[in-house]
A and B are shown apart, each in its own frame.
Chain A
Amino acid sequence: MSALLTVCRKEILETLRERRTLVSLLLGPLFGPILFTVIINMTVSRNLTSLDEVLEVPILGAEYAPNLVAYLRARSIAPIEDHDIQDVEQAAELVATGTYDVVLVIDEAFGKDFGTDRAARVALVVDRSKNRAASRVGRLRGAVDGYSQQIGLLRLVANGADPSLLRPLVVDELDVSTPASRSALMLGVLTYFLLFATLTGGLHLAIDTTAGERERKSLEPLLTLPVARSSLIVGKMTATVCYMLASLVLTLAAFTIALRQMPLEQIGMSSNFGFATAALAFALLCPFAPLGAALMTAVASFTKTYREAQTYLTFVLLVPTLPLIIASVLNIEPEAKLMWIPSLSQHLLITTLIKDQPLTPSFVAISVVSTLALGGLLGWLAVRLYRREAILG
């Protein structure tokens, strides 16, 4: 036991002294939260433009439809003058080059056709491949459609017809999602980052203690010491788990702080990701650390060099994230039998947490037991692999 702790302490100390490793260990956990902040802020600002901001749209032929332009103005859509736009081709070019998101072109015959039984024509020049522009285009289109409908209704009334003739169907949508459950969709990605940070936190040590130690030739003298190989490798895995948990704590802390700064309410989501949630999420993810450490150590002990191990482990990092991707594609709900799958069970439980729904104790129990059991199995495998003579390379 004391040999195990001696090994664990030495591995922790040695890694602490390696500046490059330490920096990546500290910066790694920040990657997720920063990416997250950027994405959410972009989503928020894009959604908000369509509501509050004045949308400036170049209108070609504004003089043919003063009423339409006035209607748009009332909806915060301001026409701007651009003398470069003389015809549809020029408008198309300016949209294609990205100068404008959308240009409204009013037909010369608009004034003549308007009020007759011929439909007056307007054109929206847009680039559908630009997602960024979608909300602005949608807003302008909605306003133009609104004008069209309003005029249509007025004409029906003027002719003595019931306007409801034009609306044989009324569709009501009842959105039962709560702000918390809406945020779960986006914050579901959070578990992915958490699992990833946990694994990468132990990546260096898992490789260093097996392939790395062999490559630096320090393994052979170590194996001549009167210490069971199982103590050595379990001590090394314990150190790996320590770094993984440290990485997880850092990531959780960074997320907790980052989510507080985000205007989640403005896009109809709420975040209950406070200290208590973070602590619970940590507890739920804890059993995953030994599993990941054992998996990475077992894989790394097959390889000959640090570099080779790194290549293999990059793929191994993807394995635990696979169930998450399937889960989000299929939109899976928590179920008892799914709790037997490590990483998926943690994902589902943490998503439940974020949705502000109560955790089912039996689900948590299955998740913890199955994850620890698989971790134990892989740990046993890692010990077996470490006992082989081939470990010396």
Chain B
Amino acid sequence: MIEVEGISKSFGAVRAVDGVSFTAADGRITGLLGPNGAGKSTCLRILSTVLEPDAGAARVGGIDLAAASLAARRVLGVLPHSSGLYQQLTGRENIEYYGRLHGIAEDRLAARVDALIERLELGAIASRKAKGFSQGERTKIALARALVHDPQHLLLDEPTNGLDVMATRHLRDWLRELRGQGRCVLLSSHVMQEVDALVDELVIIAAGRVTLRGSPAELAQRFPGRSLEEIFVEAVRGAERSAA
């Protein structure tokens, strides 16, 4: 479970995140939805411990990020906005490198990487250098890399960015599988239709604040006769008006 309580973060005069609170439960896919520049990436960066919030607190699996960031990172798998693979390493070596840095012993590591390569169907690219990978292949390897230590929590920053239809479908299938294993999946997106089919819980964020929360079904009930996209657009407009 990921718990976020009133986190804020400013870069100079810009208040990127302004008192954001939400919870992402285990066994559910939570979608952080908002327009570009709403503060989604900053939220995820705070949760992945590369940024520290100016105010507020966050816990991952009950571990307070400020108090024990190293312990929190052990239960977190992160797929950042850019896959950031090492071009000169093969797909397999990229995954192994992260496994070693997670402290996985060599004998267990080989088995673990084999299993990931098989499950994510990476056999064809595992022994090739990452240099020539397509966007879809990069995302696949980056996902395998994020899962190498079998984390309970998964943070994905716009994971379907740049993926074609097939790759997007595959990714959704894996995320549902991870949910089925009882993991806590938190992803960000700026495309309403995309999360509609996938997420159990929506957190709409605009101008650094949470403007609306609830499952797609709940939201449909609360705003009868309107599509999720209309609800999203309205929530974002309202937040941007009050921020201005």
Q: Chain A residues in contact with chain B, CB under 8 A? A: 2-3, 6-7, 10, 13-15, 17-18, 216-228, 389, 392
B86 at the interface (CB under 8 A from A): yes
Query: How does the 8 Å CB contact mask read for B23-64 relative to A, with 1 for contact and 0 for none?
Result: 000000000000000000000010011111000000000000
Contact B73 A218 (CB under 8 A): no
- Expressed in whole angstroms, the minimum distance between the Cβ of B123 and any Cβ of chain A is 22
Q: How far is the CA of A227 from the CA of B98 in the complex (A)?
A: 10
Query: Is B97's CB under 8 angstroms from A6's CB?
Result: yes
Question: Can you give 12 contacting A-B residue pairs, CB < 8 Å?
Answer: A10-B97, A15-B88, A216-B87, A220-B45, A221-B84, A223-B50, A224-B50, A224-B78, A225-B73, A226-B102, A227-B70, A389-B50
With A3-B101, A216-B84 already in contact, the answer to whether A221 and B145 are too (CB < 8 A) is yes
CB atoms of A10 and B103 under 8 A apart: no
Which of B78, B81, B84, B101 touches A6 (beta carbons < 8 Å)? B101
Among A2, A7, A216, A219, point to the contact of B103 (Cβ < 8 A). Answer: A2
Q: Is B80 engaged at the interface, CB distance under 8 Å to the other chain?
A: yes
Inter-chain CB contacts under 8 Å: number: 80
Contact A218 B50 (CB under 8 A): no
Q: Are B73 and A217 in contact, CB atoms less than 8 angstroms apart?
A: no
Interface assignment of B186: CB less than 8 Å from any CB of chain A: no
How many angstroms between the C-alpha atoms of A266 and B58 in the bound complex?
A: 77
> In whole angstroms, what is the CA distance A226 to B73 when docked?
5
Kindly list 17 other residue pairs between chains A and B, CB separation below 8 angstroms, not including A217-B81, A392-B45: A6-B101, A13-B88, A14-B89, A17-B129, A216-B84, A217-B80, A218-B84, A219-B84, A220-B45, A221-B83, A221-B98, A222-B84, A223-B49, A223-B50, A225-B98, A226-B102, A227-B101
Contacts of A223 in B (CB 8 A): 49-50
Please name all residues of chain B whose beta carbon is closer than 8 Å to the beta carbon of A218 when the two chains form the complex: 84-86
Contact check, B89 vs A10: say whether CB atoms are below 8 A apart.
yes
Distance, CA A7 to CA B89, complexed state (A): 13
- Give CA–CA (A216, B83) in the complex, Å: 9
* Contact between chains at B51 and A224 (CB < 8 Å): no
Measured CB to CB, the closest approach of chain B to A232, in angstroms, equals 8
Residues in A with CB closer than 8 Å to B146 are 221
Chain B residues, Cβ within 8 Å of A2: 100, 103
Question: Of residues 71 to 122 in B, which have CB atoms within 8 Å of A's CB atoms?
Answer: 71, 73-74, 76, 78-89, 97-98, 100-103
Interface: B142 (CB within 8 A): yes
Chain B residues within 8 Å of A7, by CB: 101
Min CB–CB distance A151 → chain B (angstroms): 79
Cross-chain contact B70 with A228 (CB below 8 angstroms): yes
Complex: how many Å from CA A216 to CA B129? 15
B153–chain A nearest beta-carbon distance, Å: 11
The smallest beta-carbon distance between A226 and chain B, in angstroms, is 4
Q: Which residue of A lies closest to B52 (CB)?
A: A389
